[in-house]
Each structure stands twice: as structure tokens, then as C-alpha cells.
Amino acid sequence: MKDNLFSIHGKIALVTGATSGIGLMIARGFVEHGAHVYVVARNQTACAQVAADLGGTGRCIALPADLSSAADRSRIADTVMSRHSRLDILVNNAGALADESIDTFSEESWDAVMGLNLKAVFFLTQKLLPALRNGASADAPARIINVGSIGGLRISGRENYSYVASKAGLHHLTRALARRLGAEHVNVNAIAPGPFPSKLTEGVPDSVKQAVCERIPCGRFGEPDDVAGTAIYLASRASAYVTGAVLPLDGGSVGAT
């Protein structure tokens, strides 16, 4: 039990938005700990490159797809189920963000963010439920891990209205799915990350980053092992009795301030 408690060795996982940021951190952690990982992203070249890079340390397969497309969501499910009898772990990480003034915020921006951050999560999950159910048992439930945000737990000063609404909706959808699927041995949880290195933070001045860190009780941005370790916990035997939870991963920003 000690050796197997946090093991995901041999598990079949699918991670969306896996070519950068938190999605890549989770995919890398899964591969390095012995899971068979499908990486999903819209950019075919980036998807193939990540699969090649991670494939050097384990099993990783590129599955390029546009999650806003119903046809592509069906293709993802068909591909997984044609190759495996089950799916053990689904990580819904792909997302979008729009910052626009309330006076000019467009319907196009609203719909694009809501479509990817919330609608696509529900309908990809729906398509993959047969595969998730196939391998699930009381002792080894299948796992759905939704990547939300602390923006869905509290309001910042940014004008990213559709983003925070979608992430709050994703947290609540997580609870609704957990309630419905618990009896079928499919656990559904969410991670609500705070600041992590990403494309969004690459151009941020160091002075701004330092000011952000000063407001975080742990005093720093998140690191790859922080999110990989959390995802591995939520995918392993260690969390078999955890479902319907929204776990802040933010150095104490929400819970301790």
C-alpha cells in the first residue's frame, strides 16, 4: 500500500491544453510517473513536439484537436476508445481568457471563452464517459480533474468577466458531475490554481511579479512540481475517497488572506 498509494503507473490519461503552462506541467508529471498520456491541443506542430519531448521519458501520444468543435470532441473519444478499453484519467485543462473593458467587451470574446472553458469541458466529458466508466471500480475510481482558477473563487481587479464566470461555473459543474457520477465510481474534482509561470506572465515586469508574490502567504509563484503533484494525488489511490472538491493551489492566496 505504501508503494502504491500515490502510483499512477500504467494509467491511461488524457490532458487537454497540454502544450504549455499548467497542462504541460501535468502531462509531464503523469508521463514521468508511468502513465500513458494523450496530449490534446489545437496546434498540431506543438502537440507533436510535446509528445516527442515527453516520449523520451515515457509513453506520450499527440492527439491534436480543436475542442470547440463537436466533431473533434467526438474524434478524440473515438480515437481513445478504439485503442483502449478504458480511460482512467481525464484532465480538462484547455482554456481561454479575454480582458476587455466592460464598455467594449464583445459577444465574440464572451462566447469564445465560455465555449472553451465550460461548454467544451462538459461535452468532451460526456463523449469520454463510456471509456471512463469501463475501467472504474469502487477501489479504483476513474478520475476527472477540471482545472479552474482562483479567479472563480474571488474577484480581482481585472476585467476578465467571461473568464471568472466560466471558472466559477466550472467549479460548480465539477460538484454537479461528482454528485451524478459518484455511484458509477467516477470521481470529479477541480484544481483552482493561482499564479504559475505561463505565456500570460512571460512579459510581466519583475517588479509586478514581486508585488504579486508579496500578497501570497507562501511568497512565490507556483512551480511545475506543485501542480503535477496535486494532479497525481487526485489521480491516485490516495484520493479515492475525494470527489466534488475544488482545491485552491495558490500558496494560500484565497484561504489564508
Directed axis angle between helix 120-134 and helix 70-83, to 10°? 20
Q: What are phi and psi of 215, to 5 degrees?
A: -95, 0
Contact 125/76 with Cβ under 8 angstroms? no
Residue 242: exposed, middle, or buried by beta-carbon count in 10 A (0-12, 13-18, 19+)? Answer: middle
What whole-number distance in Å separates Cα of residue 191 and Cα of residue 234?
9
What whole-number distance in Å separates Cα of residue 202 and Cα of residue 223?
14
All 3 cell numbers of residue 226? Answer: 506543485
What whole-number distance in Å separates Cα of residue 15 and Cα of residue 191?
14
- Given the residues 38, 161, 163, 233, the one annotated as active site: 163
Is 163 a residue of the active site? yes
Secondary structure (H, E, C), 153-178: CCCCCCCCHHHHHHHHHHHHHHHHHH
Three-state DSSP class for 114?
A: helix
Q: Which residues are catalytic?
A: 163
